[in-house]
Structures are given as C-alpha cells and as structure tokens.
Chain A
Amino acid sequence: MPIDIDIAHVARLARLALDESELETYRKQLGDILEHAARVQSVATDDVEPTAHPLSLVNGFRPDEVRPSLDRDEVLSQAPEARDGYFVVPPALEVE
C-alpha cells in the first residue's frame, strides 16, 4: 500500500523547521516505516477493544493537599531568557 504523506504539514504540526531536502529524506523513510507498520491493518480485531494501558488499575487519585513548590531562582536559572521573575519569549500573537 503506497502511503501518501504531506510531510510539510506534519512537520508544521510538530513544530520542526526542516528544509526541503530534510523533508524529502524523512518523507521517504516514513513511507518505508509506515508501509511496514500498516501490517497492523491485516490483523482481525473486530472483537477487540483498543488498549492504551497495560495495567488494569483505575483512578490513582491524590488528595487535595498543597506540596512545596520549586525555588523560583533555581527554576529561572535554567531558562534561556528570564526577566523580573518571568520566562521571556518573543511576541507570540500577531493580531491585526
């Protein structure tokens, strides 16, 4: 089954700034892998519920209790850019 991949769209969704030749390389590799992966479609699973989890545990709640937060200076010391207690990024929104 030949698999059609809009690799530029996928890269945009995944926030990866790849150039044309990189995109082409990945498109081919993904095609090969997906062709192999598409074998899952040959398995009869009509009577099978999908499983996302290997354990049959449920809920796993924690009580509503406050625990200590991290030290802000330690956290911000790892930030690429910080100012006045905030993380800093370039403008995110361009509203006309």
Chain B
Amino acid sequence: MSGWEPVIGIEVHVELKTESKMFCGCAVAFGDEPNTNVCPVCLGLPGALPVTNERAIEWITRIGLALGCEISPRSVFHRKNYFYADLPKNYQISQYDIPVCHDGFLEVEVDGTRTLVGIERAHMEEDTGKSLHVGDGGRIHGAEATLLDFNRSGVPLVEIVSRPDIRSAAQARAYAQELRAVVAELDVSDARMEEGSIRFDANVSVRPEGSEEFGTKVEVKNMNSFRSLERAVDYEITRQIRALEEGGTVIQETRHWDEEAGVTHSMRVKEGSSDYRYFTEPDLLPLVLDEEWVERARQSLPELPAQRRTRYAALGLDEQAVTVLAAAAPDVRELFDDAVAAGAPASQVANWVTGEITALARRRDTSVAELGLSGGTLAELIALVEDGEVSASAAKDVLVGVVDGEGSPREVAEGRDLILLSDAGELEGAVESVLAANPDAADRYRGGEKKAIGFLVGQVMRETGGKADPRLVNQLLRERLES
C-alpha cells in the first residue's frame, strides 16, 4: 500500500442551538412529537416567506472568526434546487459564491506533529426534515413507506468545508475533534454527533506519492462517531488504493459507511441530480456585515482550545498536563485559572484539579463546580503542602474537610490535627531518643551508608505519630549525625 498519498477534505454540518429556526419562529427542539414545530415557512406552504434569524448570523460570524476566517462584508443567500421529500420547498436556502466566512484554518496535531488544515468556507443554510423508513424489509432496503417529520426543517445549519489538506484517517479524526471542540467552546451548538447536531462527511481520494494532481474523489457519509469517521476514511483509502493497484478505477460517487460491516457502500448515483441551479434567493436581502458587527463578534469570542493550550504551556505545564487540562470540563479549567491567579504554582494546581479534585467530584457523583471550592482555597491548601505544614497524603483529607464545610484548609488541618510538627525544638527530643535507641543505624550512616537515614526518619515519624514534617526531620537528623 505504499507509494500512495491519501487526500482528504472534510465537510461539517453544525446545527445551531438558537431558540427559533433559521427563517421562521418555530422552536428549535430535539425529540419533540413529529410535526409539532412547524409553520407555513418551514413546511413550504404556498405563500410563506423566510426571514433571517439575526442570532444565527451572529453565531456563524463567531464560528468564522474562531476558525481564522475572513468575514465577507457582503454575502447573499442562494436557492439550491433539488427535489427530495424531506426538503419542503424542494430547494434549500443556502449560500453559493459568497459565503459569510471564507479562508480560515484549523491546527490539528497527531502524534506530536502539527498540521494546518485550511478552511475554504463556512456558510449559512437551513436543515431538512427527517425521513423515517418503515416496512418489513429493514431500515432502508425494501421500505414500504417513508414517514416525514418537519420539526428539523429550517433549523439553522452552518456548513464548514475544509481544504483537501488532510493526509490520513487519524488526521481526519483529529480535525473533526478539534472542530467540535471549537464549536462546543463557542456554545452555539449541542455538537452531539450521535444526535446529528454535528455531522461529518469526508471527501477521500488517493494519488501516487509525489503527484500534484488530485485523484477521483469519493464522498463518504453516515459516520456517527469520531471513531467511525476514522475507520470509514481508513477503509475508503484502502479500498481506493486496492482498486487502483488492481488496475481498476475509482468513480466519483457518494458512499455510505456501514458501521456494523465496517465497509462503505455505493449510493445509487442519480442521473443529473447534481445540477443544483443555484440562483440568488429573491425573498431575502443581501447580508451586509460591517466592521462594527465583526468587531462585536470578535469581542464575544471565548478562549479557544488552541489558545488555551498555548497559554497552559506558557505557564510551564508539561505536554501531558496541557492535554489533560485542555480537554477537562470548563469548571475544572476555571478552578485551575482561579487558583493560579491566587498565586499557586500551575503544575501543582493542574495535578490537583485534574487528579484528586476531579476524582472526588466523581466519587460524589457531582461536578467540580458543585464541590464549591474557590481558587483561593485551593491555593491555600497547596501552600500548606508546599510549606510543609501538611503532608501530601493528609492534604487529601484536608480537601474532603474543606468540601464538607469544616472551614478553610488551615482550620480543617488544625481541626483534624493534621498540622505537621514544624518546630525544631519540639522535634529535638524525638530525634535524640531515636538516635539513642538505634545506634547501629546511626553508625551505618556515619560509615557512609547514607540511605540508613531513611530508617531513622521513619522512626522519628512513628515517635511523633506521623505529625512531623519529614523534610525537617531529615534535616535535623543530618545535622546531628554530621556534627
């Protein structure tokens, strides 16, 4: 299979979670009774007219900016003409030659290698209704009837088209995941693949390595998880290479991914169905988004995943910590930011929030936010450990006490008697008696066997009921033994 280079582009459809639909006032809702969120406009009744939802345009502007796109100062809606039972007007209001957003990029990383994937465009359109195939013969094959529900008809849809810059199935998956993370961060879509609120189609072709020309591309549809996207692309690459190596050809077509069988199937190619006869939608006015509009959208952008990773790295977190934290829930990241702002060292905070604190929330079947910890409290707890007032293991108990409302970390540590003895005077006696009781060990240390000090530290800890600061004990013993 070597000697071939896959060329992949991804088309993504994102359903926006606006209150109302793209061009009418029907509610955007998932899972309602069929045909209950419908009106003359989204049913395509005679005489109905579309009117653009302003928020949807705000949100596609944000998506575009988050993907580094240019925002067209003037764009237009087009009618895309094709007949399909779940498309009520038998044309879809979409955009054609002038989309709202164009020429952006998204950085993806696979096995430590970063790649910039170009975004050709992101445009605004409306979703179709849903077809439900029923009959004895199974889901599609031999279906006896098709039931139509138009609740989804007219839901705002943003289509994001990448450039063919992707070179492997793993990269395709990474692109899809990163894009989903961006959309989720913008809080403009439920972005759930399993519910279809974010949908990925892949355009796959292969060409001989070193070739500049593109091979024949195949559109692969019907992937409902990131894993199935990766599998489908992988399968399609292999299928195409095999076909070409066996002297066959690849035909331009749309193929359906069959998750169970792990293969793609050809959809029957409909003759002439690809002539969409785009023309300007005369029922809608041109979209004119001035600089002020774009600037307002830019101001409303949250920190994006890539920016966040850069910021974490700059705080000194290692790659592992950056990855884990960047993928963590928003409340976890917020606690991290607050604790760092309160002066705690970033790597310690990262350990706490993604480790013990997340685990505690999970044990209690709640969220990190619900634990009620403030950044200042966490910083105080970390400082207690850093300053040797509380041991690392006792700090976990302090955390539980804080969460249970027993007071500040210091109050809990004191209340639960977890403060380490840090007064050298108080420890001297214990050190003295341990050295007196264990002359052999002391001698071995003096004789050069430095690790013998570990035993002595352990004895002092036992003597003090575990409340001594081991670092201080270590220091005191060393001073005594080396004097």
A60 to B280, CA, bound (A): 16
* Contacts known (A59-B288, A62-B51, A91-B135); A84 close to B147, Cβ less than 8 A: yes
User: Is A46 located at the chain interface by the 8 A CB criterion?
Assistant: no
Residues 138-193 of B at the A interface (beta carbon under 8 Å):
140-150
The yes or no answer to B266 lying at the interface (CB within 8 A) is: yes
Inter-chain contacts of B315 with A (CB < 8 A): none
Binds A, one of B24-32, B306-314, B435-443, B451-459: B24-32
Residues of B within 8 A of A70 (CB): 38-40, 43
User: In the bound complex, do residue B20 and residue A65 qualify as a contact, i.e. CB atoms below 8 Å apart?
Assistant: yes
How far, in Å, is A87 (CB) from chain B's closest CB? Answer: 4
Partner of B145, one of A62, A67, A88: A88
Interface positions, chain B 261-319, Cβ under 8 Å from A, are: 265-268, 271-272, 275, 277, 279-280, 282, 284-288
Q: Considering the chains assembled together, what is the distance between the CA atoms of A75 and B88 in angstroms?
A: 13
If A53-B282, A59-B288, A86-B132 touch, whether A67 touches B25 (CB-CB below 8 Å) is yes
| Interface pair B148/A93, CB less than 8 Å apart | no
| A69 and B285 contact, Cβ closer than 8 Å, known pairs A15-B83, A61-B54, A93-B143 | no
Interface size on A, residues (CB 8 A): 38
Could you mark each residue 73-96 of chain A with 1 if its beta carbon is under 8 Å from any beta carbon of chain B, else 0? Answer: 001100000011111111111111
Contact in complex: A59, B148 (CB < 8 Å): no
List, in ascending order, chain B residues with CB within 8 A of A60's CB: 51-52, 284-285
Partner of A92 from the list B18, B85, B90, B265 (CB cut-off 8 Å) is B85
> Does any Cβ of A come within 8 Å of B37's Cβ?
yes
Closest to B86 in A: A92
* Residue A63, interface by CB 8 Å: yes
Q: Are A86 and B34 in contact (CB under 8 A)?
A: yes
Q: A13 to nearest B CB, angstroms?
A: 6
Question: What residues on A are CB-neighbors of B279 within 8 Å?
Answer: 52
A91: chain B residues within 8 A (beta carbon): 133, 135, 142-146
In the complex the two chains form, is A66's CB within 8 Å of B27's CB?
A: yes
**What 0/1 pattern do residues 419 to 462 of B give for CB contact below 8 A with A?**
00000000000000000000000000000000000000000000
B43 to chain A: which residues have CB within 8 Å?
70, 75
A58 to B73, CA, bound (A): 12
Which residues of the partner chain B approach A55 to less than 8 Å between Cβ atoms?
A: 285
Q: Is residue B131 within 8 Å, beta carbon to beta carbon, of the partner chain? A: yes
Does B333 have its Cβ within 8 Å of any Cβ on chain A?
A: no
- 334-384 of chain B: CB within 8 A of chain A: none
Is B256 interfacial (CB 8 A cutoff)?
yes
Contact A85:B84 (CB < 8 A) given known A61-B57, A62-B54? no
Q: Which residues of A contact B56 (CB under 8 A)?
A: 64
Smallest CB-CB separation from A9: which chain B residue? B272
A89: contacting residue among B18, B36, B146, CB under 8 A? B146
A69-B27 in contact given A15-B83, A86-B149, A92-B84 (Cβ < 8 Å):
yes
Please tell me if the beta carbons of A67 and B26 are within 8 angstroms of each other in the complex. yes
Contacts of A39 in B (CB 8 A): none
Known contacts being A52-B280, A62-B51, A66-B20, is A87 close to B285, with CB within 8 Å?
Answer: no
List, in ascending order, chain A residues with CB within 8 A of B83's CB.
15
Least Cβ distance of A61 to chain B in Å?
Answer: 4
Give the complex CA separation of A76 and B34 in angstroms. 11
Chain B residues in 8 Å Cβ range of A66: 19-20, 25-27
Asked if A57 CB lies within 8 Å of chain B CBs, one says yes
* Contact, CB under 8 Å: A58 / B286: yes
Residues facing A in B33-82 (CB within 8 A) are 33-40, 43, 51-57, 76
**With a CB–CB cut-off of 8 A, which chain A residues contact B271?**
12
Q: B132 to A96, Cβ gap below 8 A?
A: no
CA distance A60 to B37 in the complex (A): 23
Q: How far is the CA of A15 from the CA of B272 in the complex (A)?
A: 11
Residue in A closest to B141 when the chains form the complex, CB atoms: A95
Q: Check B266 against A96 for contact (C-beta < 8 Å).
A: yes
Residues of B participating in the A interface, judged by any CB pair closer than 8 Å: 18-20, 24-27, 33-40, 43, 51-57, 76, 83-85, 90, 131-133, 135, 140-150, 256, 265-268, 271-272, 275, 277, 279-280, 282, 284-288
Q: List 9 A-B contacts (CB under 8 A).
A: A15-B83, A52-B280, A52-B282, A53-B285, A65-B19, A87-B35, A89-B85, A93-B131, A93-B143
**Nearest 10 A/B pairs, CB to CB:** A67-B25, A61-B54, A86-B147, A64-B55, A52-B280, A87-B148, A58-B288, A91-B143, A60-B285, A62-B51
Known pairs A60-B52, A70-B38, A92-B131. 11 more at Cβ < 8 A?
Answer: A53-B280, A55-B285, A58-B287, A59-B286, A59-B287, A62-B53, A63-B55, A83-B145, A88-B147, A90-B146, A91-B133
